[in-house]
Structure 1
């Protein structure tokens, strides 16, 4: 079971984690999430923020309530994650790394930023991208969802996430369900052929094609098989001919 503790001023924002796949994971005993309003740990009349030394805009989270909350949660320091736009970019590989942990603590801030001394507690600083949110709650939910779904038995089938975009380094191939013909758009015949090898090759080619057209940067660090390299060469030649 993975244990997650979330330090936040707004525990009510995390209602989505109680539903769908994560809610079922909790019901099955695969996941435990506890929310801690660190305002309750503030020594100074429940004040968790203050003006920055040296002047400046906005208010900063004080270190004391965060340190007190972490000390109350864990005798042995687990992996502690601070949601911060200056942190390491979050991706699928990072989610897989976190999914191997037994316990995680997330620190969600508000206001202009943090007292720098909070970071002495932290093992990971995570960013979802080059933008700023009003608080760390939404970012924490995204990281938790991406991580927990990778835990054994959370998705039902152990291989359910293996074809996800980014799990293989490539974007996921197109998928279809009934009806066969919807408003003139038909399911590719190969998917109805029952020929597993042809279906596998079609999916690989489509995944390569989508990645090359939409996220060619992913191919720079992707270890492709000889088969995939040949298919990618074919795709590039085809697209080059079209552009001539």
Structure 2
């Protein structure tokens, strides 16, 4: 018996304008009167049929419009920055990713050099949560490894020295930031984390209070740490208040 599929139940790439049109149509009850190129694109992608958004996509867009939990991930790799918004409601998950190109100026500053006109939208479920998330991360095993691969929380109980930390920040192969907001009654629950891959090693970048001030600490961690921390944050957000990103 083969392994169950971990691919998204649906995966499309469409223009930002067409996606915005679908979002607006669902706000208006799922109908749209235009027969322009944007609607034709939605029809070709299977998101719309005739003048109406199809039922699976109405459900997906309802998750985007009113999520219980939102996980935002920004990942840089090879001059590309991928910005993903992952909306969760019940067992349904919708991930919308936008990509931008970036480069460095002569003085070392980072600037955006281009924006991809398309968005990638994937639908999956909580049963395949990490499989859905890992595919929008850079193709590095340190980042895509599952939580079970991290046999220990940290590889060291202290951060690297300042010179090493600066070298990692300036020359890392990839950097990932994640922020989770759990919506409901009262103030949203917030958790955040940051990681970098440098010379094939994964590092967690966290903050600690030093002499009353927040200071960045770069700690080596095992592959799978990213999945482990995001998973814990998600469980915590479902259960109650979460504290993260600082020690």
The TM-score, its normalising length taken from structure 1, stands at 0.28
The TM-score, its normalising length taken from structure 2, stands at 0.28
**Structure showing greater Rg:** 1
Query: Which protein has the bigger helix share?
Result: 1
Query: Which protein has the bigger strand share?
Result: 2
